[in-house]
Amino acid sequence: MRARLVRWGTAAAASIAFGIALDKADPLRGTLLFLPWIVAGLREIDALPGVRRVGGQLASGLEALALGLLVAFAAVRSWLALPFATAAVVGGLTLWLLLAALRRGIGLRPLLGARLPARPPAVFFLLPLTVYLGLQPWVTAARLPDGDEPYYLLVAHSLAYDLDDDLANNYAAGDSLAFLDRRLEPQPGDPVGSGGELYSRHNLLLPLLLAPAYRLAGAAGAQTVMALLAAALAWVTLRLARHYFRAHPGPVLVAWLAGALLSPLLLYAPQVWVEVPAALLSAIALDHLLELKYDRLWNRRRWLGIGLPLLLLPLLKIRLLLLAVPLLALAWWHAGRPRKPLIILGIALGLLSAAMLGYNTFTYGNPLKIHTLGELRLYETPARTYLLGGAGLFFDTAFGLFGATPVWLLLLPATALLVARRHPLLFDLLVFSSPYLLIVASRREWYGGWSPPFRYALVILPLLTLMLVPLLEQRRRLGARWLLGGLFAATVALLLLWTVVPGWTYNFADGRTLLLDQLGARTGSDIARLTPSMLRPRPATWIVPLLLLAGVPALWHWPRRRSGAVAGGAALALAALAALPLLAARLPTRTIELEDAWVAKSGGHLHPDRWMFDRTRYRGGWVLREGEEATAYPVAGGRELTVTVELEWVRNTDSPLTLTLRAGERPLATWEPTTPRHWERIELGPFPWQPGEPLVFAVSGPAGEPTNGLILDRARLAWR
């Protein structure tokens, strides 16, 4: 008890000292104020019975020294005036926290015993929670709530202070300024009551859960509740593992550490989205229904553990009914196909759904709020849409799981291994997720809207984590070590970037990523064309996934012999990432997307606007008006060039307009539009071409204020 009082007393004193010493405008103030409490929490974990330190890992003395140096650098960085000093401190603290958690996580192996326990120790909840809370002050301050998040918070504000869900007065009073730097406006299509009430399209269950904490601590309180839910999801994932891999606690622990401490869960932990609580409810239901395989006994605990999550899922979001129904089917299957539970829970789900649809119809005039029944006509959706949407959840560079967290590429050989073994985990995953993911893949917003990657599919993360377990039993192979080293190094590098600049995970629905935009703008080359994008299909969209589907499993199953290849794999992965700009600078350019960051512009603007609702309905492009131009430096693929441009003329006056194509200052061709508001494809050339010449698209017209313009979508280059 005395040691515990000393730990927490020291944390309180250090936090007070930081509060006195730090400038209130310091962006790291919140992080450093909370850091002593995180350190005390880690020491508390060290003191728990059964926790063991593992030799060869980061020693506690070195850990303390590294933290001391980071804190000292944070304190003097303003005097040193070094560029990116704050980013270096955040990255260092993130790496320190991850390594500290990883060392302790490996040290927890004895607590799992020879066979996984039915109830994992609480430390498996506390460890990820400590990591989430340690990063929360920075990531929530560096990136204010966005997308649907502020609307959930505003509803929680209304429930906490007004005890209703009418947001009209909250919009008028600017209550969103409590957690944003701007006043919120209603989202397009939000329901309006008969008396002028303004409601949110989002269900009330999550705001109801957040409202008490919001009343106590504002947005920080609500975000802490979300971190608690994420930590609970990590703990339930470990509990769920016993149904599939009870006799394999070592590989389960390694897979669990990846799922709990890396993205996407780490990115979503402090954020207000329904997917984390949806994944938690689904995992709880799965855990209880899988118990029915052993005794098929529907006792009170089973009814509550299965029935309550099934009824709460559609209350979170009506589309989650597509998870509740398959979960009910799985419960029926694993319990030996009894009729009574199926009928009772089916009737309960049906009545709940009917009540929700009736309430929405009566209150909002639409049973699905902003959606339509036509969206359920899946047979009208082209197969290509399903392919792009389904593959995009995993392979898309901006929005997919593999692009944000490369270590999850291990799912490719893991899936092959589970198929070969006919493992029951695959059956449960397919039954549970197929209806839901089918709807998600068919929608234009499969990428999750304005959110970090893998939003819609986050609900299957617990089962994806467990899929890695059989694979990790083979981690001694040479190829496996190369893969583990390479993918883990790339994952940590990206994770540090996502933490330092959390806004870079919020990509728009135009097929671009903020990271690749930065690289392209700095190098002047189209690096993005080498990566898959399902919103902007290109050769890499199909080539890269096929290469990964074949290459990753083949490399994993490389010769059965041990070797210390982890460091080599890490070096190779980082070298491959560094080689992307070199490769982009040598491969001939075939397509130029005029809105991309590597294309230099003197004027103009994006089309459609960056904030356009349902942006994927529109062709993206860049608008050039009179006197404005765009310049690209294509990599030549021959000595003769033909340019095919897709464009639309925006005519506001009768003034003439001319598109001029130049190679630097050398004129190549001119073209004048004749039909306004009509997409056209024009072919210009062929022209003689010298490598290294810039390709310039210039728009000219009468002198004076620009009135007309051309929307340039893309230019396709043919070389001879």
Residue 687's beta-bridge partner residues? 641
- More confident of the two residues 319 and 48: 319
DSSP, collapsed to helix, strand or coil, labels residue 382 as: coil
User: What pLDDT, on a 0 to 100 scale, did the predictor assign at position 372?
Assistant: 67
Q: Average of pLDDT values for 469-491?
A: 85
Torsion sign across C-alpha atoms 465, 467, 469, 473: negative
69 in the Ramachandran plot: left (φ > 0), alpha (ψ -120 to 50) or beta?
A: alpha
Most confident of 295-299, 329-333, 338-342, 360-364: 329-333
pLDDT of residue 582 exceeding 90: no
User: What pLDDT, on a 0 to 100 scale, did the predictor assign at position 58?
Assistant: 43
Question: How much is the mean pLDDT over the chain?
Answer: 89
Q: H/E element holding 121?
A: none
Length, in residues, of the chain: 720
DSSP state of 50: T
Q: Average of pLDDT values for 603-623?
A: 86
What are the E-state strand segments in 569-620?
591-593, 600-602, 605-607
Q: 254-273, pLDDT tens digit by residue? A: 999 999 999 999 999 999 99
Q: Average of pLDDT values for 534-559?
A: 88
Q: 28-76, pLDDT tens digit by residue? A: 888 999 999 999 888 888 877 666 554 334 446 788 888 889 988 888 8
What pTM was estimated for this model as a whole?
0.93
Pull the structure tokens for residue 717: 């280059």
The C-alpha R_g of the chain, in whole angstroms, comes to 28
User: What pLDDT, on a 0 to 100 scale, did the predictor assign at position 374?
Assistant: 67
Q: 82-102, pLDDT tens digit by residue? A: 888 999 999 999 999 999 999
Concatenate the DSSP letters of all residues of 235-294 into one string. Answer: HHHHHHTHHHHTT-HHHHHHHHHHHHHSTTHHHHTTS--SHHHHHHHHHHHHHHHHHHHH
pLDDT of residue 577 exceeding 80: no
Q: 594-607, pLDDT tens digit by residue? A: 999 999 999 999 99
Q: How far is CA 58 from the centre of its chain?
A: 30
DSSP, collapsed to helix, strand or coil, labels residue 89 as: helix
User: What pLDDT, on a 0 to 100 scale, did the predictor assign at position 50?
Assistant: 63
Strand 621-625 and strand 629-632: pairing? unpaired
Question: What proportions of the chain, in percent to the nearest 5, are helix, strand and coil?
Answer: 60, 10, 30
Q: What's the one-letter identity of residue 10?
A: T
Concatenate the DSSP letters of all residues of 27-65 into one string. Answer: TTHHHHHHHHHHHHHHHHHHHSTT----TTS--HHHHHH
Question: Could you give the angle at which helices 424-442 and 461-472 cross, rounded to 10 degrees?
Answer: 140
Q: Which residue shows structure tokens 């006792």?
A: 299
User: What pLDDT, on a 0 to 100 scale, did the predictor assign at position 667?
Assistant: 93
Cα(150)–Cα(60) distance, rounded to whole angstroms?
Answer: 40
Pull the structure tokens for residue 394: 């995993």
Q: Average of pLDDT values for 604-625?
A: 87
Pull the structure tokens for residue 321: 């009914």
Q: How far is CA 306 from the centre of its chain?
A: 28
User: What pLDDT, on a 0 to 100 scale, did the predictor assign at position 56?
Assistant: 38
- Out of 438-442, 501-505, 706-710, pick the least confident: 706-710
Q: H/E element holding 676?
A: none
Which residues contact residue 363 at a Cβ distance below 8 angstroms, ignoring those fewer than 6 apart? 191, 193, 199
- More confident of the two residues 533 and 373: 533
The number of beta carbons lying within 10 Å of the beta carbon of residue 16 is: 12
User: What pLDDT, on a 0 to 100 scale, did the predictor assign at position 360?
Assistant: 78
**In the chain, % of residues over pLDDT 70:** 94
pLDDT of residue 150 exceeding 50: yes
pLDDT of residue 561 exceeding 60: no
User: What pLDDT, on a 0 to 100 scale, did the predictor assign at position 90?
Assistant: 95
pLDDT of residue 526 exceeding 80: yes
Q: 193-246, pLDDT tens digit by residue? A: 777 888 888 999 999 999 999 999 999 999 999 999 999 999 999 999 999 999
pLDDT of residue 281 exceeding 90: yes
Phi, psi of 683 (to 5 degrees): -115, 125
**In the chain, % of residues over pLDDT 90:** 60
